[in-house]
């Protein structure tokens, strides 16, 4: 329990960001839904179209809706210029607002439709103008129902806002995604408790306002409004009230190694006097795009990933040639700076349980071609979409009976429990040795090289002081050190936090 309490106390920053994101999304949802509802009450066609659209939006999973705004905003840059953010607050705000639309809109339209026609006729009959009727009669009579819709929207939005973590917006999803990654249930629980608690509080306060409107008790209405304003104000102060110093934002994709390396770089920069911030749990493509556009300042990426996914290359040159070409390509396309290799490689490799591989006599991927027909292959959620997988599959002609997606952590459990026979593992993962896994050889070289490299955004890369501050990490981390650090957060017992693991790694490599 004290662990959870401790984890909760560290969530102040995420809580404030979560409150602001949710409040802004609900406010935008209200600002769009209410005029639309007024229009809809005058036109059945508009009513049908608006409700149809809002319902359609609801059928899109929140995670997908959030992700969809990345390409949408990217294409809108043609109109609004390169300054338009494609990650973080803006896409999260837009997606969540769309999500909040339906309950508010539906309640507002229903409330309007259910107004006593006699009262509306009387409003016209006593000589009210359109706006007087809206302000003096329709709005006050609909208010309790609209408030009920806002309440529903608030609970949904606060829950869905945890997913904003995946598109680089700080939220209470940060500890949930970080915890899921490493099966650190204390972190997951802390995130869930905080967001559920926030939703309950918001529901209670908005319920108070609703009750005040329904029973026409102004003290309740204004008391509730004041409490909401106070909460949002406190969050605003917490986020923006402090120093105006520029923070260096370090990105991390959604697996343990990335979290640890982000902290390692962050701690090192803090020692050099910089303020830092983290954007965790980013998808591969999102993370790369984020560093090239300056949404984040620093990212650890892997040569093979950039080579095959971002550059779309299918050949497999030696590692030095590959790195040189990548550095040139990044400079040409976006001005992103490749600082250098960290020293280890984290390749994709197909892994099996050692004794199983030995029993079946499988040593290389080529040996799989015959056995694969009766096997299940597991991979992280993006693995089977990546060109590397397609290259491996086609090079060796392996056809598995079934393939399943797992989050990286659960993938190893699946291998142990027999739910997968082969997995797309990471070679720097500490669990390969700890679990006694065999990495199958790749004699044809279908997987490219995956040296871990440090990328700096165009602006940060031109800052010599920051470059110098990170430089000591270049070439400093060998694969053994990385495996040990990864295992220290991934193992079942005696888990370290990412911060602790990063500190131990720093000690080990003598920083």
- Exactly one of 9, 59, 79, 117 binds other proteins (CB under 8 A); that residue is 117
Least spacing, CB of residue 210 vs other proteins, in Å: 15
Distance CA 96, CA 350 (A): 38
Could you say whether residue 113 binds other proteins (CB under 8 A)?
Answer: no
CA distances 365 to 349, 358, 468, Å, are: 9, 13, 42
Question: Is residue 261 within 8 Å of 453, Cβ to Cβ?
Answer: no
Residue 119 within binding range of other proteins, rule CB under 8 A: yes
Which one of 82-90, 124-132, 226-234, 288-296 is the stretch in contact with other proteins (CB under 8 A)? 124-132
Angle at 242 between CA 237 and CA 246, to 5 degrees: 125
Collapse the DSSP code of 402 into the 3-class scheme (helix H, G, I; strand E, B; otherwise coil) and give the result.
strand
In this structure, the dihedral spanned by the alpha carbons of residues 352, 355, 361 and 363, taken in order and rounded to 10 degrees, is 40
Is the Cβ of residue 128 or residue 366 nearer to other proteins in the bound state?
Answer: 128
Near other proteins by CB under 8 A: residue from 31, 49, 76, 122: 122
Pick the piece of the chain touching other proteins (CB under 8 A) from 135-143, 149-157, 329-337, 477-485.
Answer: 135-143
Applying CB under 8 A, among 6, 140, 373, 436 the residue interacting with other proteins is 140
160, 62 Cβ separation under 8 angstroms: yes
**Radius of gyration of the chain measured on its C-alpha atoms:** 26
Minimum CB distance to other proteins smaller for 51 or for 137: 137
Min dist CB 146 to other proteins, Å, is 14
Between residue 190 and residue 229, which ones bind other proteins under the rule CB under 8 A?
216
Rounded to a whole number of angstroms, the minimum distance from the CB of residue 110 to other proteins is 18
d(CA 373, CA 392) in angstroms, rounded, equals 16
How many residues bind other proteins, per CB under 8 A? Answer: 19
Site string for other proteins, 308-347 (x = CB under 8 A): ----------------------------------------
- Select 117 or 273, whichever has its Cβ closest to other proteins: 117
The site string for other proteins over 268-307 (x = CB under 8 A, - otherwise) reads: ----------------------------------------
Spatial distance between the Cα atoms of 127 and 462, rounded to a whole number of angstroms = 68
| Residue among 13, 121, 370, 385 that touches other proteins (CB under 8 A) | 121
Q: What's the rounded Cα separation, in Å, for the pair 312 and 178?
A: 30
**Which of 132, 272, 320, 416 is in the footprint of other proteins by CB under 8 A?**
132
- Closer residue to other proteins (CB): 121 or 385: 121
Q: Does residue 124 touch other proteins according to CB under 8 A? A: yes
CA–CA dist 149, 151 (Å, integer): 5
Of 123, 153, 158, 456, the one binding other proteins (CB under 8 A) is 123
Stretch that binds other proteins, among 123-131, 237-245, 383-391, 464-472 (CB under 8 A): 123-131
One residue of 31, 49, 126, 468 binding other proteins per CB under 8 A? 126
> Among residues 24, 74, 128, 201, which is the contact residue for other proteins, using CB under 8 A?
128
Question: Toward other proteins, which CB reaches closer, 81 or 125?
Answer: 125
The nearest distance, CB 121 to other proteins, in angstroms, is 6
Q: How many helices (H) and strands (E) does the chain have?
A: 24, 10
Q: How far apart are CA 351 and CA 348, in angstroms?
A: 9
User: Which of 81, 83, 118, 318: binder of other proteins (CB under 8 A)?
Assistant: 118
| Residue of 3, 13, 116, 355 interacting with other proteins (CB under 8 A) | 116
Q: How far apart are CA 211 and CA 221, in angstroms?
A: 7
Whether 207 contacts 132, CB under 8 Å: no
Identify the bridge partners of residue 276 per DSSP, sorted by sequence position. Answer: 248
Instruction: With H, G, I as helix, E, B as strand and everything else as coil, classify residue 226.
Output: helix
Among 117-125, 263-271, 294-302, 398-406, the segment contacting other proteins (CB under 8 A)? 117-125
Q: Per CB under 8 A, does 141 bind other proteins?
A: yes
Per-residue burial over 55-87, b if 16 or more Cβ lie within 10 Å, else e, is eebbeeebeebbbbbbeebeeeeeeeeeeeebb
Using a 10 angstrom Cβ sphere, with 0-12 exposed, 13-18 middle and 19 or more buried, the burial of residue 305 is buried
Rounded distance between C-alpha atoms, residue 102 and residue 312, angstroms: 40
Element containing residue 105 per DSSP (H, E): helix 89-113
Shortest CB 197 distance to other proteins, Å: 34
Q: Which residues bind other proteins (CB under 8 A)?
A: 116-119, 121-129, 132, 136-137, 140-141, 216
């Amino acid at each position: 329990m004290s662990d959870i309490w401790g984890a909760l106390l560290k969530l102040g920053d995420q809580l404030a960001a979560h409150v602001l994101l949710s409040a802004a999304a609900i406010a935008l949802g209200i600002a769009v839904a209410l005029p639309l509802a007024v229009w809809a009450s005058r036109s059945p066609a508009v009513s049908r179209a608006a409700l149809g659209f809002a319902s359609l939006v609801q059928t899109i999973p929140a995670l997908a809706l959030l992700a969809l705004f990345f390409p949408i905003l990217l294409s809108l840059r043609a109109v609004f210029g390169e300054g338009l953010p494609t990650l973080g607050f803006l896409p999260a705000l837009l997606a969540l607002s769309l999500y909040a639309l339906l309950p508010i809109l539906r309640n507002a339209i229903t409330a309007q439709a259910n107004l006593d026609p006699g009262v509306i006729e009387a409003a016209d009959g006593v000589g009210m103008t359109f706006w007087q009727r809206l302000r003096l009669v329709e709005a006050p009579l609909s208010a309790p129902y609209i408030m009920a819709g806002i309440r529903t929207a608030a609970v949904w939005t606060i829950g869905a806002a945890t997913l904003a973590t995946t598109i680089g917006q700080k939220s209470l999803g940060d500890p949930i995604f970080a915890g899921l990654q490493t099966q650190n249930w204390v972190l997951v629980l802390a995130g869930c408790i905080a967001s559920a608690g926030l939703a309950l509080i918001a529901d209670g306060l908005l319920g108070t306002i609703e009750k005040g409107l329904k029973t026409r008790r102004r003290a309740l209405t204004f008391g509730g409004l004041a409490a909401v304003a106070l909460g949002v104000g406190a969050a605003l102060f917490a986020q923006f009230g402090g120093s105006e110093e520029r923070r260096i934002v370090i990105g991390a994709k959604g697996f343990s190694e990335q979290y640890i390396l982000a902290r390692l770089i962050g701690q090192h920069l803090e020692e050099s006097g910089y303020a830092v911030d983290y954007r965790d749990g980013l998808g591969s493509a999102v993370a790369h795009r984020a560093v090239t556009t300056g949404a984040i300042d620093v990212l650890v990426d892997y040569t093979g990933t950039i080579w095959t996914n971002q550059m779309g290359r299918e050949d497999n040159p030696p590692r030095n040639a590959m790195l040189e070409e990548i550095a040139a390509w990044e400079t040409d396309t976006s001005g992103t700076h490749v600082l250098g290799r960290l020293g280890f490689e984290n390749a994709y490799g197909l892994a099996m349980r050692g004794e199983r591989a030995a029993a079946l006599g499988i040593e290389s991927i080529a040996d799989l071609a015959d056995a694969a027909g009766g096997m299940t292959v597991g991979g992280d959620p993006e693995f089977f979409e990546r060109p590397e997988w397609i290259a491996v599959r086609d090079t060796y002609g392996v056809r598995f009976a079934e393939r399943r997606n797992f989050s990286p952590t659960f993938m190893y459990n699946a291998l142990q429990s027999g739910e997968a026979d082969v997995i797309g593992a990471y070679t720097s993962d500490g669990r390969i040795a700890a679990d006694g896994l065999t990495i199958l050889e790749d004699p044809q070289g279908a997987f490219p090289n995956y040296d871990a490299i440090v990328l700096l955004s165009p602006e940060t890369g031109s800052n010599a002081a920051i470059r110098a501050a990170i430089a000591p990490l270049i070439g400093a981390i060998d694969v053994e050190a990385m495996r040990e650090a990864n295992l220290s957060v991934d193992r079942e017992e005696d888990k370290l936090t990412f911060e602790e693991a990063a500190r131990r790694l720093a000690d080990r490599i003598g920083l």
